[in-house]
Structure formats: C-alpha cells, structure tokens
Amino acid sequence: MVILPELVLAAGALAIFLVSLSKTPSAQMAKAVAMVFGFATCVAALFAFQSQGSLFYGAYVVDQYSQLFKALIGSSLVLLLVFGQNLKGIDPDIRPEYYLFLLLSVLGLMMLVSSVELIAIFISLELSSFALYLLVPMRDDRTGSRAQMEAGMKYMLFGVMATGFMLYGMSLLFGLTGTTYLKDIIAFLAKGGLQPTVTVAVLLVLAGFFYKLAAFPLHFWVPDVYQGASNETAGFIATLPKFGAVALLIRFLTVPTGHTEFLIELMAILALCSMFYGNLSALMQKDVKRMLGFSGIAHAGFIILGLLALDRDGYGVAIYYIAGYVLMNLACFLVISNVSKEGENVTIEDCNGLYKRQPVLAFVLAVGLFGLAGIPPFVGFMGKFMILTSALRADHVLVVCLAAINTAIALYYYLSVVKAAYTAEPGERPQVDVHPAIQLTGVVLVLAIILLGALPARFIDFASTVVQNLY
C-alpha cells in the first residue's frame, strides 16, 4: 500500500514495453493500456493517501507531504491522457514508446517527491528527466524544419548543466556533513558554526530544481522546447514536472544555511527577473505555446515569491499556487491539442472565432487564461493574492509592488487570445469536432479552477499542515 502508485506505474510501463515488442506494435493498444494504468495510478494515489512508511533504509519516505503531491500528479496525468489521447503530432509507429517514456517520467516524479536522500533524489530526477528528453524529439517531421530535434537538444543540454550544478551542491553538502540523508544534514547544520560554503551548496542544489520550474536564470530552454515539442508533450512539460520541483524546493529550503537574509534577497531578485523577463517576452509572441512558455517563466517567479517567507504558511500557499497553475495550464493545452488540426502549432489567429466553431473549447480556454491572468473568481487570482499578501507580511513591499505591475502586464497577452476567440470572425477556419470525453474533461478542469479559487482555505490549511511535519 505504501508505494502502490509507483508499483502501478511500473507495471503500466512494463505492459506498454511488452506491447512495443510485437512485430506490428498497435498504437490503439498502447493508448488503451496507458489510459487504464493512468486511471489506476490516480485511484491508487487516492486509495493509498493515508498510508505512511519508510523504505530503503530511510532513503524513501512516504508521508502526507509526498502523498499530497502524488495525488496531484496522478490526477493531472489522467487529465493529460484523456485530452491528449489523439497524439496528432506523434507518428503511430512510435506511440507505444511515447507512452512508455511518459509513464516512466511520471514514475520518476512520484519517486522524487518521496526521496529524502541525495542519491535517491538524483536517481529519481534523472529517471524523470531522461524520459522527457526522449519525448521532445518524437514529434513527426511534416514541416521538415527539424525544430523538434533542436528543442530536444536544448532541453537535454540545459538539463545536463542544471544536473551538474545540483550534483556539485550535493557533493559539497556531503563533504560538509558526512551524510547524504536530508534529515541528518539538517540536524548536523542546525548545531551552528556554519560556513558560507553551506549557502553555496544549497543554492547549487536549488539550481537543479529552478531548471525544472523554468525560473530565471535557468529558463532559456523553455520557449524553444514548448514550440518544438508536440502539443501533448509541451502540455506534459508545462505541468507535472512543476510538482516535483516545488516539492524538492521546499525540502531543501528547510536546510539551515546561516545566511537566511542573503537567501531571501537572492530569491526575491530571481523571482522579479523571472516575472519581468517572462511577461515582457510574452507580449511579442504569436505562437500560443511559446507564449505559454514565457508565461510559465513569469509564474515561476510567483512561486518563488511564495517561498520567500520560509515558513509553513508560505510553503502551503506555494503548493496551492502550483496546483492551480497546473490546472489552468492543462485547460489551455487541452484547447491547443484539439484546435490543432494535424498536430501543428496553434497561433493566436488560429483561435479566431472559436466561440462559434467549438463553444466548449472557447469557454475552457477563456477560463484557463483568465485564471492565469489573475482575474477573480478563478484560482489564479486567489493564488496571486495570497502570495502577495504573504510577501507583504514579510515586509517585501517593493517586491509586491513590482509583482503587481507584472500582473497588469500579463493581462494584455492573455486577453489578446480571449479576444481572438470571442470577438474575431472565424473566416474560412473549419468547425472543431471533439470527443464528448474531451469536452467533459474541459468542464471538469473549469469546475476545479473555479472551486479551488472560491474555496482555497481547506487546501491551503492541509498543505501547510503537511509541510509542518517536514521539520
């Protein structure tokens, strides 16, 4: 029961591997197996939610904190599999391998949120990352531009660089403390007499997770990878890995460095750089996926802002914000994946008159973008409001003012897409036909975005409580 979701995912990956070994691998069979095991993973994560335990000599801890993230990852996986079931941009011959690497990447993320030992963290992160590196170039090459190959190379090279930073930081922590277990590292450093090297080590480790979060200055891969990857792959990269990044950022921010003020000031600067770079760059974009990539960089800044307080309430709000952000991004990518006729990228002009061509998708897109823009009553507004309130309580007045300006900047490019969907005429663009299951998934996402925005207290209180148990 303790590792039931991980076991289900491993079984699913093995089943798809067996499907891929047949002489004529069936894309439909692979899809069916992936859907079954995706739903089973979500059910297993919810079923095992109360289970707790420690495995592998304490290197792998299953507690309420990790179970919360596993439930979020499992639920998001189901939504992603449902609306991305057509895989228009992936050649049918390699779809079994695509689903195999997708499930392995999710398995790595689930292992990552439970890992509390440096080597276990590294192995989990690499399992998740290397599977993703392979997903990006799997896009078919109808255009002949080979953009997916360029995107895959950039993603891998930046990932290797971030991993190098993280490993160097981990080696410093091991050298200073003589242990690779996080709880022992924290206990050793809590005794005092800390050297500046500890701060350097923690920052290097955090760099590895800033890369996953797409935060400044490890953000350069984002727009090209979003644009070059298939719509479904970009939707995956934009959502599920963020859970793992936030989970591990919170774990490592509990490590005492002796230079807390310096860490807070540096994180505030990185948060503002992420916001301004992301929002100002997004203003010029015509490709919706590329725009969402720059938007993701800006939202990474808000998440870092939530972590500035370095207390359980701030961490709880950050978890709430990332949960809302993933839901809103899934809503946008649901529309992109289904408006795209043959898996090509979607421009803002391609959304013209969407309210006439497919009213449900137009509504889902509007809700997702309104939420990302921070318009009430959606989860994006409540998340930003609580993060800014938390930062204001910690006397970061200038940071809050600059973050509020960024929220205003972001309104322009989000609403330009909504404007195209609801005020422009469709012209020669055809009707968009989607399966009722996809429409239902869109409605579920809309309800989740509204409910989480209207009733945030219970989720934030629970998230804050499980974070408190980490100390």
- Measure the CA–CA gap between 455 and 362, rounded to whole angstroms: 25
In one-letter notation, the amino acid at residue 386 is M
pLDDT along the chain (471 residues), means of 10: 90 91 81 91 90 88 91 92 83 88 93 93 92 88 73 89 92 91 88 81 90 88 89 90 91 81 89 93 90 93 87 88 93 89 84 87 92 89 90 87 91 91 82 85 92 89 85 59
Ordered alpha helix ranges (H), 214-311: 222-228, 231-237, 240-253, 260-282, 288-307
Structure tokens at 252: 């490592």
- Whole-angstrom Cα distance, residue 218 to residue 211? 5
Distance between CA atoms of 188 and 270, rounded to whole angstroms? 28
CB distance 24 to 147 below 8 Å: no
The number of folded domains in the chain is 1
Per DSSP, what are the bridge partners of residue 117? 181
Two tokens at 116? 């509390």
d(CA 228, CA 24): 28
| Residue 62 structural domain | 4-468
- Going by C-alpha positions, the residue among 157, 159, 96 that lies closest to residue 127 is 159
What contacts 219, CB < 8 A, 6 or more positions away?
A: 274, 277, 278, 297, 300
Tell me: cis bond preceding 377? Omega within 30 of 0 counts: yes
Separation between Cα atoms, residue 431 and residue 186, nearest integer Å: 58
pLDDT of residue 145: 62
Q: How far apart are the first and last CA of the chain?
A: 25
What is the identity of the amino acid at 277? Y
Alpha carbon separation from 79 to 41, 139, 240 (Å, rounded) = 12, 21, 11
pTM tops 0.85: yes
| Three-state SS letters, 80-138 | HHHHCCCCCCECHHHHHHHHHHHHHHHHHHHHHHHECEHHHHHHHHHHHHHHHHHHHHH
**How far is CA 66 from its chain centroid?**
16
Question: Structure tokens of 425?
Answer: 């005429």
